[in-house]
Chains A and B, each alone.
Chain A
Amino acid sequence: MKLDSMYQDVILDHYKHPHGRGLRDGDAEVHHVNPTCGDEITLRVKYDGSRIEDVSYEGQGCSISQASASVLNDLLVGKDLAEAQKIQETFLELMQSKGQLEPDDAMEEVLEDAVAFAGVSKYPARVKCALLSWMAWKDATAQALGELAERKTA
């Protein structure tokens, strides 16, 4: 059944048992919404220099958006910013592939559990759900590092 390509077990597991959920101390906080469906996320990032010390989040939304936030937390916490950006860009590429991209070994190595979202990319209405937390992270990172830079030069 086609549905199983979207709702992979990995995704349902993350949805039912989210990793790193809850808001903790952070350098910046953003609130992003998906206006078409009402998915919302509040996300904070904490940096230790260029290393991601924590990504914490709270939100409501569908299984795809919630699982995606959980996977993001798994993948990005502890990573260096450059590596995290590469993961984010790779995930974006996969999600914008309209189901045309078959993840290869290199991609799987970068994305780990996040390759499970490949099936979601076939459903245009759901791609935004999968990307919600990733766009929030990107925004929060820009704010956090911008502020840190300002503080340094001040």
Chain B
Amino acid sequence: MTTLPGLLDTEAIRKDFPLLDRVVHDGKKIVYLDSAATSQKPRQVLDALNEYYEQHNANVHRGVYLVAEEATALYEGARDKVATFINAPSRDEVIFTKNASESLNLVANMLGWADEPYRVDSDTEIVITEMEHHSNIVPWQLLAQRTGAKLKWFGLTDDGRLDLSNIDEIINEKTKIVSFTLVSNLLGTQNPVEAIVRRAQQVGALVCIDASQAAPHMPLDVQALQADFVAFTGHKMCGPTGIGVLWGRQELLEDLPPFLGGGEMIETVSMHSSTYAPAPHKFEAGTPPIAQAVGLGAAVDYLSAIGMDKIAAHEHAITEYAVKRLLEVPDLRIIGPTTAEDRGAAISFTLGDIHPHDVGQVLDEQGIAVRVGHHCARPVCLRYGIPATTRASFYLYSTPAEVDALVDGLEHVRNFFG
């Protein structure tokens, strides 16, 4: 069996994930290589969800009875855990949403309704990049269309990195917000945050970072990033679906207007007008995803107990091995960086002219689960002149043996369509 320096004790870790024992297609043990789409869930998170519903289920911030107070304490406790996990200066800067898409839409809509100095209008510009997930493209297109602002973006280099050669032109005095991904879900590229943030700060633009593919895989420190907003989702980091996070700097959350209105986000309401609760509640209208937040709290505990540094080292070792092995496959072209440096553990590739759908189907028959398609990042596919890719993505439970299974599986695909 292949051993690599930096690997976690995956034998122990995999015991925590019931789904990884799943047997599919006539007795084949599943090889789950789609964690960039959603991670599997450890028993600790499933137990937390169960215990919440069986012992503490009540609505939050309302009842005076014991169980309601327990539910509120668990929900707010999850906020504390997330705040610590991302090194937020204050727990009140952590807003719970439904997913990263909602977090990014929330930022776009805060700005869409904001007064000066945040106001986005036809004299201003919004900057994104060509490697964004659709969830960090479409909200900004909508904002641009509705306000008349101009949408600009950084292009990509041939080796799958951001082309920052014209950064001073793209980010200029008109720029109001720069929103970009920390790690690309398709290319795997980890972007140079500092250079972008420095330029944005020079011109007084806000910075929003999509950390969906980063928060599960590496230590995330919102203070070190120096961004204004950071968005991510729970279900890619061992948490349940239905819970996302938006972190925002306190003074911005105080200044910017709410987006969704309803219960929970108010201070007083009359038939004519209302005043709003302070952040984070100002941005959490209605009954929140309580159990899901509790589940995310358990996921954060789980990941922290292992250590994000160690998880990052494990994934780096797996990625290095996977890149090396995949490049041995004839006709395989990696779309994105071909080294493990400044790179996450999602690896997209094409295999000759065999369509990714067909690659994925034949791999599935061998129990190997990968993602095929344009990965909600169609502009990236257009940039590299391909209709789609096959993507294998790894996590703390992935093993070198699973990389080997993928490589063997691809050989089978080549024979099948050869």
A residues bordering B, Cβ < 8 Å?
A: 1-3, 6-7, 12, 36-40, 60-66, 123, 126, 129
**Is A2's CB under 8 angstroms from B381's CB?**
no
Q: In residues 369-407 of chain B, which contact A (Cβ within 8 Å)?
A: 372-374, 378, 381, 387-388
What's the minimum C-beta distance from B237 to chain A, rounded to whole angstroms? 24
Neighbouring A residues of B373 by C-beta, 8 Å: 36-38
A6-B361 CB under 8 A given contacts A36-B373, A37-B372:
yes
What's the minimum C-beta distance from B371 to chain A, rounded to whole angstroms? 10
A62-B355 CB under 8 A given contacts A2-B25, A38-B378:
yes
Contact with A along B406-418 (1 / 0, CB 8 A): 0000000000110
Give the contacting residue for B387; candidates A36, A38, A63; CB below 8 A: A38
What's the minimum C-beta distance from B27 to chain A, rounded to whole angstroms? 13
**Is A3's CB under 8 angstroms from B365's CB?**
yes
Neighbouring B residues of A66 by C-beta, 8 Å: 355
**Is A123's CB under 8 angstroms from B388's CB?**
no
Contact with A along B351-371 (1 / 0, CB 8 A): 000011110011001000000
**Is B356's CB under 8 angstroms from A37's CB?**
yes
What's the minimum C-beta distance from B387 to chain A, rounded to whole angstroms? 4
B residues bordering A, Cβ < 8 Å?
A: 25, 355-358, 361-362, 365, 372-374, 378, 381, 387-388, 416-417
Is chain A's interface secondary structure helix, strand, loop, or mixed overall?
mixed
Neighbouring A residues of B355 by C-beta, 8 Å: 60-63, 66
A7-B416 CB under 8 A given contacts A1-B365, A63-B355, A126-B361:
yes
**Is A38's CB under 8 angstroms from B417's CB?**
no
Measured in the bound complex, the distance between the Cα atoms of B387 and A152 in whole Å is 40
Neighbouring B residues of A64 by C-beta, 8 Å: 357-358
Measured in the bound complex, the distance between the Cα atoms of B362 and A12 in whole Å is 14
**Is B388's CB under 8 angstroms from A37's CB?**
yes
Neighbouring B residues of A60 by C-beta, 8 Å: 355, 387
Neighbouring B residues of A36 by C-beta, 8 Å: 373
Give the contacting residue for A61; candidates B357, B362, B378, B417; CB below 8 A: B357
Q: Which residue of B lies closest to A64 (CB)?
A: B357
What's the minimum C-beta distance from B98 to chain A, rounded to whole angstroms? 21
Q: Which residue of A lies closest to B355 (CB)?
A: A62
**Is A37's CB under 8 angstroms from B361's CB?**
no
Give the contacting residue for B357; candidates A1, A12, A40, A129; CB below 8 A: A129
**Is B365's CB under 8 angstroms from A2's CB?**
yes
Neighbouring B residues of A12 by C-beta, 8 Å: 417
